[in-house]
Amino acid sequence: MVEIKKNKQILLKDYVVGNLKEIHMEIRSLDVPMMIPEKGGLLLKNLYLSWDGYTRVRMSKPNPNNYANSFVPGSVIDCYGVSQVIDSRHQDFHVGDLVWGITGCEHFTLLPSPLDLTKIKYTDDSIPLSYYTGILGMPGLTAYVGFHEICSPKKGESVYVSAAFGAIGQLVGQFAKLMGCYVVGSAGTKEKVELLKNKFGFDDAFNYKEEQDLTVALKRCFPEGIDIYFENVGGRMLDAVLVNMNVHGRIAVCGLISQYNLTEHDGVHNLFCMVTKRIRMQGFIEPDYQHMYPQFLELVVQYIREGKIVYMEDMVEGLEEAPSALIGVFSGRNVGKQVVRINHND
Amino acid sequence: MVEIKKNKQILLKDYVVGNLKEIHMEIRSLDVPMMIPEKGGLLLKNLYLSWDGYTRVRMSKPNPNNYANSFVPGSVIDCYGVSQVIDSRHQDFHVGDLVWGITGCEHFTLLPSPLDLTKIKYTDDSIPLSYYTGILGMPGLTAYVGFHEICSPKKGESVYVSAAFGAIGQLVGQFAKLMGCYVVGSAGTKEKVELLKNKFGFDDAFNYKEEQDLTVALKRCFPEGIDIYFENVGGRMLDAVLVNMNVHGRIAVCGLISQYNLTEHDGVHNLFCMVTKRIRMQGFIEPDYQHMYPQFLELVVQYIREGKIVYMEDMVEGLEEAPSALIGVFSGRNVGKQVVRINHND
């Protein structure tokens, strides 16, 4: 039996309405010892926690239109993470195993079942463990299936990615470039725009916060129109895209991060373009495509090792920094995939 | 050479902004004789003219986001119609041939080319000529491909049709019933609601004008949710549908008739449901599917003769009644497909 640890956790204090703030979360130190798992369960030491757009969605009141259950006020927030098994009563998992999947925002997590965990296959100098919160985890598979399965891309097509510097966007742009598409991304700072072009190989990029008129900005970047839009943002960005889409264009709706902190979502006014341009718009979520994870993993690990794909993370250190880092995801403060490294200083 | 006729025409006076009114159209009697066609051209006597939602779209200022060219102010409006060839300088068309396709809103039309015309194959007591403006014309093929090609329907699925009494909606509902789906339609009068249920065989129907809350109305009609939505309306109806859709639902966007008279389209606020429910929404127009017309025609003529499908038209008599009839299409005054019969009293 492993040494029993005390714990530190992030709790949701109450359902969030409007802008997410630090007061909505509480950091709690537990002096009671961790229990040992029941039969079939695991005790995890969490190493990297992942902050994603969908975390905010789960902080709102329960709503049948959400894809995931809301968190329970007063309870520990859960999230994707990378963890090490430190005690196991499940036959397929052993002490020392590294796993990724859904865990708690806390130092140690007792899971009754490893249903949402995947054993980590590759780690080496070129494949940091934290990548399993991003490029090799949920955001990576989301980008891959969203682009290849939902967008039906063809070589030479023009692709627009909003929130292009996020955990998913930076990958969509690179997948599109590998396919021979013309790719433009948007982000919220000059620094990110430069990195999109110089580090990630986007053909062009713009700072949406500096554009007077998004419709004009897209027209400038896509004089021949947009064939594929990878939608991470929503609201007025979608309206501007719709009028710039080409006939038979495709829109993969991955998320609408501009909307998650709003009490009422912005109206989208240009849906008539769906008809006139015969656009296909399709929402999707990664869990529907988990059967594709093994082939995705092999391909992307190879891309990483060959230097064909790069990935940028924004890593903060320590659970105390996690609430502020999560808030930053919705203002675009993070530069790359937002990860929280914990439990490294014991 | 045929006797040269004088003509009566409907012209667009100027681009329309906001609600379409009679003052936007002018009826002109021409005392000058009709010319004989150039080589390759035809002279048509128009028998039935079709008023469709898209006619209003073409009355707005030219806009690159429209699917069809705007009419030219001061010129004759064109529309779908059924006509007889009265003079021909095209080898494939002969005097006396009956055709359907795009013609002018006038008694006689001189066409430089019959590119947009189809020769009429079937007419008999069970197949009125006017049906080629509706069930056997553009609206019919629109309903057929929209439902069968875009909605990917399966037996037993639940289907919602808005503007269900329109030229297209009444057919979508019947196609869906023939496939074994559960079908609910909405319309704007008690009379239409009763006919949807009793004449067209919809499982249920409601009067959207009498509902306080469309979301609640749809929840009542679809306690298990909507699998397929055939979208003819837009605006707040789409918002209400989105929250009632099932996971992996499909929305075929055929038109947004509630929006055509608006200077700014209503905002749609619930697009996040696209993600959470993995909805596919697809716009389409009938011209992309004209290769399917022959198989469609054979099938639907058989359905009509066997009494498996019925069709209801709202017929007005005379070109003078046409402007008022077109305006009625956007307030839902028409009961069934709006047709204008002309040239029958010479």
Task: Work out how many CB contacts closer than 8 A connect A with B.
Answer: 116
- Point out the residues of chain A with pLDDT beneath 50: none
All CATH 3.90.180.10 domain ranges of chain A, comma separated, are: 7-134+312-341
Tell me phi and psi for residue B243, to 5 degrees.
-75, -15
B196 versus B259: the higher-pLDDT residue is B196
Token duo for residue B278? 């993995």
Residue of A nearest to B265 (CA): A269
CB contact under 8 A, B275 and A284: yes
Within chain B, all domains assigned CATH 3.90.180.10 are found at 7-133+311-341
Q: Provide, as residue numbers in chain A, all residues whose Cβ is less than 8 Å from the Cβ of B264.
A: 269
> Which DSSP category does B56 fall into?
H
Intra-chain end-to-end CA distance of chain B, in Å: 19
Position B251, amino acid = I
**pLDDT digits over A74-88, tens only?**
999 999 999 999 999
- Write the pLDDT tens digit of every residue in B36-47: 788 999 999 999
Q: What residues of chain A lie within 8 A of the CB of B271, using their CB?
A: 234, 238, 253, 256, 265, 268
Distance from CA of A79 to the nearest CA of B (A): 18
Task: Tell me which residue in B66, B265, B272 faces A259 most closely, judged by beta carbons.
Answer: B272
Q: Mean pLDDT, to the nearest integer, of B308-328?
A: 95
C-alpha distance from A276 to closest chain B C-alpha (Å): 5
Calpha distance A148→A218 (Å, rounded): 23
CATH topology of domain A7-134+312-341: Quinone Oxidoreductase; Chain A, domain 1 (3.90.180)
| Domain B7-133+311-341 falls under CATH 3.90.180.10 | yes
Q: What is the mean pLDDT of residues B276-289?
A: 95
Q: Tell me, which fold does domain A138-287 have in CATH?
A: Rossmann fold (3.40.50)
Average pLDDT estimate for B292-298: 97
CB contact under 8 A, B277 and A243: no
Q: Give pLDDT, residue A2.
A: 54
Percent of residues, chain B, with pLDDT higher than 70: 97
Identify which has the larger pLDDT, B256 or B192: B192
Contacts of B275 in chain A (CB under 8 A): 67, 253-256, 283-285
> Nearest Cβ partner of A267 from B255, B267, B284?
B267
Q: Please tell me the predicted confidence (pLDDT) of residue B210.
A: 96
pLDDT tens readout for residues B118-176 = 999 999 889 999 999 999 999 999 999 999 999 999 999 999 999 999 999 999 999 99
Task: Kindly list the residues from chain A whose CB atom is less than 8 angstroms away from the CB atom of residue B255.
Answer: 275
Pick among B276, B279, B284, B288 to test the A interface (most A CBs inside 10 A):
B276
- Residue contact B272–A234, C-beta within 8 A: yes
Asked if the interface predicted TM-score (ipTM) of this complex is over 0.95, the answer is no
Give the pLDDT score at A4: 58
**Which residues of chain A have a CB within 8 Å of the CB of B168?**
none
Output the CA angle A134-A101-A254, nearest 5 degrees.
50
Q: What is the pLDDT of residues B53-109, one digit of tens each?
A: 889 889 999 887 777 789 999 999 999 999 999 999 999 999 999 999 999 999 999
**Helix, strand or coil, per DSSP, at residue A313:** strand
pLDDT for B3 equals 60
Nearest CA in chain B to A253: B275
- The boundaries of every CATH 3.40.50.720 domain in chain B are 138-287
User: In angstroms, how far is CA A32 from the centroid of its own chain?
Assistant: 33
The pLDDT assigned to B183 comes to: 98
Q: Are A159 and A227 in contact (CB under 8 A)?
A: yes
Give B209-267 pLDDT, tens digit per residue: 999 999 999 999 999 999 999 998 888 999 999 999 999 999 999 887 777 777 778 88
Contact (CB, 8 A) for B286 and B50? no
Least CB-CB distance to A269: which of B253, B265, B280?
Answer: B265
Instruction: State phi, psi for B276 to the nearest 5 degrees.
Output: -65, -30
Please state, in angstroms and rounded to a whole number, the distance separating the CA atoms of residues B145 and B289.
Answer: 7
Percentage with pLDDT > 90 across chain B: 81
**pLDDT (tens digit per residue) in B176-186:** 999 999 999 99
Write the CB contacts of B336 (distance below 8 Å, at least 6 apart in sequence).
B165, B167, B170, B311, B312, B313, B314
pLDDT value at residue A3:
60
Residue A1 near residue A307 (C-beta atoms within 8 A): no
